[in-house]
Chains A and B, each alone.
Chain A
Amino acid sequence: MSAATALHAFKGSDPISRMGSDPGPGLLLSHLDALESESIHILREVVAEARNPALLFSGGKDSIVMLRLAEKAFRPDRFPFPLLHIDTEHNFDEVIAFRDQRAKELGEKLIVRSVGESIRTGRVVLRRPDESRNVHQSVTLLDAIQEHGFDALFGGARRDEEKARAKERVISHRNEFGQWDPRNQRPELWNLYNARVAPGEHLRVFPISNWTELDVWQYIRRENLAVPSIYFAHERAVVDRNGLLAPVTALTPPRAGEKAVTRTVRFRTVGDITCTCPVASPAATLDEIIAETAATTITERGATRMDDQTSEASMELRKKEGYF
């Protein structure tokens, strides 16, 4: 029998036809509804079991979704946690302005701790003055956790972002040094979460673990959420460096021999200026971003992050040191 005939024969007994009937209007969840409800459930479980949680908010798209989910989980109450941003002081102005504006609109408390302050007080020592501050966020983050006594931090990381993240639990246990031990994670079964934590230790909680980049953009469109302008196509001076478009800024001038060119670009992730690159893109609306995301042939971090490309295990190594 030919392959085509075999396929046809199989379709004849397609088990889809054996699926149950529609239980009624509104009862079956769309895929965004299902993801949203799962995330709300996780937010509420951790708030119920943790003593002192906080939500990491950077002004980036994933944490914008996290804020919306917190509204869905807790309004009309106030959020049962403050927002926390670890600022490298090397962030894009548009994103920081957006961060402050959004926290104000929501009427929620925003705590900002800065890597620059950690450098000035000697908690972080740089090898070179111009090195990326991205990796040093871990020190500032762990200091902030200790300062405030946080025992659970909500973050917007997703498993589809990176191979080490694919192995992380929704509720990730960190020891008193803030370290992740991938060999010793709490098993997560069914929809039951164990959010208990001993004094001095804490949890990193990732309610949107099961979301993909595409889900995030579709949700932003569905919920009509504002995002910083640099996510949309704009003209920007960049240099072509190892296949990435490195932004030219006061902090990151062209290196010797490099020539700045103006390109139409947008950011897929908005991290530290020194290690985050835009991609060439004409996508100027949410619909265009969604279409582009659905058709992309490059991963989100692969297209944009210099810090993930230093070794096979960059993210894993950073996480073991207490990174997000």
Chain B
Amino acid sequence: MSATLTRLPAADTLRVATSGSVDDGKSTLIGRLLYDTKAILADQLATVERDTARRGGSGMDLALLTDGLTAEREQGITIDVAYRYFATPRRRFILADTPGHEQYTRNMVTGTSHADLAIILVDARQGILPQTKRHAALVALLRTPHVALAVNKMDLVGFDRAVFERLRDEFLALTASLGFESVTPVPLSALEGDMVVDRGTNLDWYTGPTLLQVLESAATTRHIDGAFRYPVQLVSRSRFGERADSRGYMGRIESGSVRVGDEVRAWPSGVAAKVAQIVTLDGTLETAGAGRSVSLILDRQVDVTRGDLLTHAHDAPVLASEFAARLAWLDNTPLDPRRAYLVKHGTAVVKAKIVAIEDRLDIHTLQPIAGDTTLSANDIGRVRLKTARALPLDPYAAVRSNGSFLLIDEATLATVAAGLVEEVPQRG
């Protein structure tokens, strides 16, 4: 395949997150994926060869392609989420490479929050480890639809079919109840290159897809099929059209779609109006869907500001100032229930208190443990929050974009936790 063909962008983009520990060979796998899809260019290869030699190695240490920071290269670890871009004739990919060795929850949650597909990596010699189960559970918590289980280092178990099949069956049993749309185990050797992009010659007994084929064929998440959710970012100073009230409500459609004439409501006020125009710099649209940034003009004067959410009148969220959520605690300073935090939900930022910590997941068994009084970095727990004003919420399971929020420390302004709305009060 020519380099030109490989690098010409295809129509859609799949977001992929990888997780695995240092020893699983994750950096080598990503290096292999980039190398064999011709996403690595000649000068990068020359640099890797030079750096490999400088470290006393020979040939090319593919892991050096992805470890970007000095400390990572010196210590042979991955510190932070790194983003890689590559394309095949079928599709474009944004790959979030998340480290597994420390602060894995924090980085995995970050990388996985965008993902359509997660690659979970295991070492064929080690089998399914407690951390493999944690990774799977985290991916399930964030509702990433597709999982590829990369059973790496098959070369070190003699490309033994029985080893792969045992791991495959164990993983499929483990994930059967986690609600994934698809789980695809692939035996491979990142070092030798078997079944990553090329099939190689060592795994002829395996008839399933290569890892790249799994990535090329997974369905992307269709936010367009969900409920219409439009957080208002800004209100234009200019007016569109001759009416005195025709301000543009700028925002991005996070979910669903909208059409001129649709009846919408602004939350938290609940005030109703009709969509008069959908405006972009390139002209007006009849209809617009998830992912598109536009300005909406309404047919009557309403009091709508930044922080409000526009939805269809017939498909309303639940307005609540007290709700249950699962928090992934990200900051090194633990949760302090005496303190006030800020919740950023859509474009709204409101004060919030944690009124109860209901449980914390045991990181080894993922069973809830009650009785904790705090959450620390990498903990995942269920809490009850009370907010200074009501927020228009959906459960995360129903509408990802409108069921997620950030928790921000009012003093340091750091993002301290990621929140997933679990339970909102019943309507009416």
Residues of A within 8 A of B (CB): 1-3, 5-7, 9-10, 14-16, 18-20, 23-24, 26-31, 33-34, 36-38, 40-41, 44-45, 47-48, 71-73, 75-77, 159-160, 163-164, 166-167, 182-183, 185-192, 194, 196-198, 209-210, 212, 214-215, 218, 291, 294-299, 302-303, 312-313, 316
Sampled A-B contacts (10; CB under 8 Å): A6-B199, A23-B257, A26-B286, A29-B291, A37-B291, A75-B281, A187-B330, A191-B252, A191-B254, A316-B68
- Please determine whether A3 and B257 come into contact, CB atoms closer than 8 angstroms: no
From residue 171 to 223 of chain B, which have CB atoms closer than 8 A to chain A?
182, 199, 201, 204-209, 213, 217-220, 222
Alpha-carbon gap, A5 to B199, bound state (A) = 11
> Which residue on chain A has the smallest CB distance to residue B114?
A190
- Please determine whether B213 and A31 come into contact, CB atoms closer than 8 angstroms: no
Is residue B424 contacting chain A, with contact meaning CB distance below 8 A?
no
A187 contacts which chain B residues (CB < 8 A)? 106-107, 109-110, 330, 415, 418
Which of B155-163, B386-394, B406-414 is near enough to bind chain A? B406-414
Is residue B364 contacting chain A, with contact meaning CB distance below 8 A?
no
Smallest beta-carbon distance A5→chain B, Å = 8
- Please determine whether B42 and A297 come into contact, CB atoms closer than 8 angstroms: yes
- Please determine whether B12 and A159 come into contact, CB atoms closer than 8 angstroms: no
- Please determine whether A194 and B406 come into contact, CB atoms closer than 8 angstroms: yes
Report how many residues on chain B are interfacial, defined by Cβ distance under 8 Å: 89
- Please determine whether B293 and A73 come into contact, CB atoms closer than 8 angstroms: yes
A2 contacts which chain B residues (CB < 8 A)? 204
- Please determine whether B7 and A210 come into contact, CB atoms closer than 8 angstroms: no
Alpha-carbon gap, A297 to B44, bound state (A) = 9
> Which residue on chain B has the smallest CB distance to residue A39?
B293
A71 contacts which chain B residues (CB < 8 A)? 281
Smallest beta-carbon distance A88→chain B, Å = 25
Top 10 nearest A-B pairs (CB, nearest first) are A302-B43, A163-B68, A27-B289, A40-B293, A37-B293, A189-B113, A3-B199, A295-B4, A196-B413, A6-B207
Contact of B418 among A40, A73, A189, A295 (CB under 8 A): A189
Alpha-carbon gap, A80 to B358, bound state (A) = 44
Smallest beta-carbon distance A305→chain B, Å = 11
A296 contacts which chain B residues (CB < 8 A)? 41
A164 contacts which chain B residues (CB < 8 A)? 68-69
> Which residue on chain A has the smallest CB distance to residue B4?
A295
Is residue B405 contacting chain A, with contact meaning CB distance below 8 A?
yes
Is residue B324 contacting chain A, with contact meaning CB distance below 8 A?
no
A298 contacts which chain B residues (CB < 8 A)? 41-43
Alpha-carbon gap, A242 to B250, bound state (A) = 50
Alpha-carbon gap, A198 to B225, bound state (A) = 39
The 0/1 profile, CB within 8 Å of A marked 1, for residues 242-274 of chain B is 000000001110100100000000000000000
- Please determine whether A299 and B41 come into contact, CB atoms closer than 8 angstroms: yes
- Please determine whether B236 and A183 come into contact, CB atoms closer than 8 angstroms: no
> Which residue on chain B has the smallest CB distance to residue A166?
B82
Is residue B84 contacting chain A, with contact meaning CB distance below 8 A?
yes
Contact of A303 among B3, B43, B68, B293 (CB under 8 A): B43
- Please determine whether A209 and B83 come into contact, CB atoms closer than 8 angstroms: yes
Alpha-carbon gap, A2 to B213, bound state (A) = 17
From residue 290 to 349 of chain B, which have CB atoms closer than 8 A to chain A?
291-293, 306, 330, 342, 344, 347
Which of B18-26, B73-81, B125-133, B368-376 is near enough to bind chain A? B73-81
Contact of B281 among A31, A72, A197 (CB under 8 A): A72
- Please determine whether B41 and A297 come into contact, CB atoms closer than 8 angstroms: yes
Smallest beta-carbon distance A77→chain B, Å = 5
B209 contacts which chain A residues (CB < 8 A)? 10
Is residue B88 contacting chain A, with contact meaning CB distance below 8 A?
no
Name, among B3, B199, B406, B408, the residue most crowded by chain A CB atoms within 10 Å (CB to CB).
Answer: B406
Contact of A48 among B2, B42, B347 (CB under 8 A): B347
- Please determine whether B43 and A294 come into contact, CB atoms closer than 8 angstroms: no
Contact of A23 among B42, B224, B292, B401 (CB under 8 A): B224
Alpha-carbon gap, A252 to B381, bound state (A) = 61
Is residue B427 contacting chain A, with contact meaning CB distance below 8 A?
no
Alpha-carbon gap, A181 to B92, bound state (A) = 30
A182 contacts which chain B residues (CB < 8 A)? 69, 79-80
Contact of A31 among B11, B240, B251, B330 (CB under 8 A): B11
- Please determine whether A40 and B252 come into contact, CB atoms closer than 8 angstroms: yes
Check A197/B413 contact, CB under 8 A, given A40-B252, A166-B82, A297-B3.
yes
- Please determine whether B404 and A189 come into contact, CB atoms closer than 8 angstroms: yes
Is residue B280 contacting chain A, with contact meaning CB distance below 8 A?
yes
Smallest beta-carbon distance B312→chain A, Å = 15
Alpha-carbon gap, A186 to B257, bound state (A) = 31
Check A33/B292 contact, CB under 8 A, given A41-B233, A167-B69, A312-B70.
yes
Alpha-carbon gap, A33 to B291, bound state (A) = 9
> Which residue on chain B has the smallest CB distance to residue A183?
B79
- Please determine whether A16 and B217 come into contact, CB atoms closer than 8 angstroms: yes
- Please determine whether B219 and A19 come into contact, CB atoms closer than 8 angstroms: yes
- Please determine whether B418 and A210 come into contact, CB atoms closer than 8 angstroms: no
- Please determine whether B12 and A44 come into contact, CB atoms closer than 8 angstroms: no
Name, among A15, A30, A215, the residue most crowded by chain B CB atoms within 10 Å (CB to CB).
Answer: A15
Check A44/B106 contact, CB under 8 A, given A294-B8, A299-B41, A313-B70.
no
Is residue B58 contacting chain A, with contact meaning CB distance below 8 A?
no
Alpha-carbon gap, A72 to B279, bound state (A) = 10
Name, among A2, A3, A182, A192, the residue most crowded by chain B CB atoms within 10 Å (CB to CB).
Answer: A192
Alpha-carbon gap, A149 to B360, bound state (A) = 43
Check A34/B13 contact, CB under 8 A, given A77-B238, A194-B344.
yes
Alpha-carbon gap, A196 to B412, bound state (A) = 9
- Please determine whether B85 and A160 come into contact, CB atoms closer than 8 angstroms: yes
Alpha-carbon gap, A246 to B130, bound state (A) = 55
A159 contacts which chain B residues (CB < 8 A)? 83, 85
Contact of B292 among A29, A76, A299, A303 (CB under 8 A): A29
Alpha-carbon gap, A297 to B7, bound state (A) = 10
Check A31/B12 contact, CB under 8 A, given A159-B83, A191-B252, A194-B406.
yes
Name, among A23, A190, A312, the residue most crowded by chain B CB atoms within 10 Å (CB to CB).
Answer: A190
Check A18/B219 contact, CB under 8 A, given A189-B406, A294-B4.
yes
> Which residue on chain A has the smallest CB distance to residue B94?
A210
Alpha-carbon gap, A122 to B345, bound state (A) = 47
Alpha-carbon gap, A313 to B47, bound state (A) = 12
Contact of A189 among B69, B109, B217, B236 (CB under 8 A): B109
Check A312/B51 contact, CB under 8 A, given A28-B289, A167-B82, A182-B69.
yes
